[in-house]
Amino acid sequence: MDKFRLFPPEASTSAQQIDWIYFALVALTFLICIIVFVPIISFAIKYRRGSKADRSNPRVESVLIESGWTIVPLLIFIGLFGWGAVVYFHVENPPRDALQVIVVGKQWMWRLQHAEGKQEINELHVPVARAVELTMTSQDVIHSFFVPAFRLHQDVVPGKYTREWFRATRTGEYHIFCSQYCGTQHSAMIGRVVVMEPVDYARWLNTGQPMESIALAGERLFRERGCSGCHSVNSKFHAPLLEGTYRKPVPLETGEMVTVDERYVRDSILLPGKEIAKGYQNIMPSFAGTLSEEEIMQLIAYIKSIGNQTPSNESAPNEQR
């Protein structure tokens, strides 16, 4: 058995912030218990049946007392809410410079891929002191990616992307648990995060097979699966060009505006008829069932990577026609 512990290791910046709120709540709980239990015990002794205590004119109502024990907890609760909300907002919004990792949950394993292309199963190697953002989805049921040492927890939901981020503060190995019940082997869906010094991480990242980055893999898929046959300037079909569209608003046939983001790109690949861009026909076939979750995420990474380009003949793949 490992050494005796009351708290898990504190290994990320959010872990420190969350632990402070936790300690404040523990202190408040002790205080309230004293405020309630000390009177209960002393009244129980003083006013036990047959004792000689003075029982004349017992009070049974007081608006002043009632208001007091309503308003004071209310103010404390509003303060706690605010503190928790501020930290939550921080925990839920990744910084812009975060390293990107994609995560796909399935019964009963985690598949991860770093932006540089390195793939892992049930393990996540990260450098210390760098923000790391996980973009996650599931290919079957809902899972949840939980790293207690980072106080980090996010459901991984089929059909949509969720994200979480952390900045590790100390090197070491920490548990990854699936914490959303996902079937028979739920408790076997565990893994570990390995937090390394930046130099060790760089060395780790460059060992093994030469890698194709996620965006490059997406570009390759864009050609191999025929996307570029239509989505290019040389196409004989009328399809939107995707360069320079990511994170930009797009008008739809229905008159609505949507922002091109992960959700929109994903839906356009799997359910192309759902939101047709204005001025185009519903002619694209669905790729549902023919692309894996990783491949969809790689395609999105590619479209993201050309988000600052403008369409031109040179940038268009040229093996068409």
Partner 1 sequence: MKTATEIDIQTEGEMPRLHYLNVEIGVKSWLLTTDHKRIGILYLWTILVFFLIASVAAAMMRIELLTPQGDFVTNETYNKLFTIHGVLMVWFFLIPSIPTVLGNFVIPPMIGGVDTGWTFYTPYSTTYANSHVITMAGGVFVAGFSSIITGMNFMTTIHKMRAPGLTWFRLPLFIWSMYATSVILVLATPVLAITLAVMCVERIWGVGVFDPKLGGDPILFQHMFWFYSHPAVYIMILPGMGVISELITCFSRKRIFGYGFVAAASMAIAVLGFLVWGHHMFVSGQSVYAGMVFSILSFLVAIPSAIKVFNWTATLHKGSIYFTTPMLYALGFIGLFTIGGMTGLFLATLAVDVHVHDSYFVIAHFHYIMVGGMVMAFMGGLHYWWPKITGRLYPEFAGKLAAMITFLGFNLTFFPQFILGYLGMPRRYHAYPPEFQLFNVLSTAGASILGVGYLLPLIYFLWSLKFGRVAGPNPWRATGLEWQTPSPPPKHNFEKTPTVTERPYGYSPEEDVDLHLASI
Instruction: Please give the Cα distance from 165 to 132 (Å, whole number).
Output: 5
16 scored as a contact of partner 1 (CB under 8 A): no
Among 11, 13, 52, 77, binds partner 1 (CB under 8 A): 77
Task: For partner 1, give the closer residue by CB, 70 or 310.
Answer: 70
Q: How far is the CB of 23 from partner 1 (least distance, A)?
A: 10
Nearer to partner 1, 198 or 273 (CB): 273
Q: Taking CB under 8 A as the rule, does residue 85 contact partner 1? A: yes
C-alpha distances out from residue 185 to 35, 137, 181, 248, Å: 45, 19, 9, 42
Residue closer to partner 1 (CB basis): 110 or 201: 110
Residues between 251 and 310 that touch partner 1 (CB under 8 A): 271
CB 38 within 8 A of CB 194: no
Q: Residue 293 CB, nearest distance to partner 1 (Å)?
A: 12
Q: Is 259 helix (H, G, I), strand (E, B) or coil?
A: strand
Assess contact for 185 and 202: CB atoms under 8 A.
no
CA-to-CA distance for 170 and 129, rounded, in angstroms?
8
Residues in the chain, total: 321
Locate 277 and state its tokens: 């861009």
Question: Is residue 131 a contact point for partner 1 (CB under 8 A)?
Answer: no
Minimum separation from the CB atom of position 176 to partner 1 (A): 10
| Per CB under 8 A, 66 contacts partner 1 | yes
CA dist., res. 88 & res. 164, Å (int):
11
- Give strand ranges (E) for 129-268: 131-138, 143-147, 152-156, 162-167, 172-178, 190-196, 249-251, 257-259
Instruction: Pick the closer one to partner 1 by CB: 179 or 235.
Output: 179
d(CA 321, CA 318): 8
Regarding 153 and contact with partner 1 (CB under 8 A), the answer is yes
Smallest distance, partner 1 to C-beta of residue 90, A: 8
In the complex, what is the shortest distance from the CB of residue 124 to partner 1, in angstroms, rounded to a whole number? 16
Identify which of residues 111 and 175 has a Cβ nearer to partner 1 in the complex.
Answer: 175
Binding test (CB under 8 A) with partner 1, winner from 101, 126, 152, 215: 152
Where do runs of H (alpha helix) occur along 225-292?
227-230, 262-270
- Check residue 29 for interaction with partner 1 (CB under 8 A): yes
**Residue 197: CA count within 13 A, CB half-sphere:** 2
Least distance from partner 1 to the Cβ atom of residue 280, Å? 21
Q: Build a one-symbol-per-residue string for 32-61: x at contacts with partner 1 by CB under 8 A, - elsewhere.
A: xx--xx-xx--xx--xxxx--xxxx-xxxx
Q: Does 188 bind partner 1 (CB under 8 A)?
A: yes
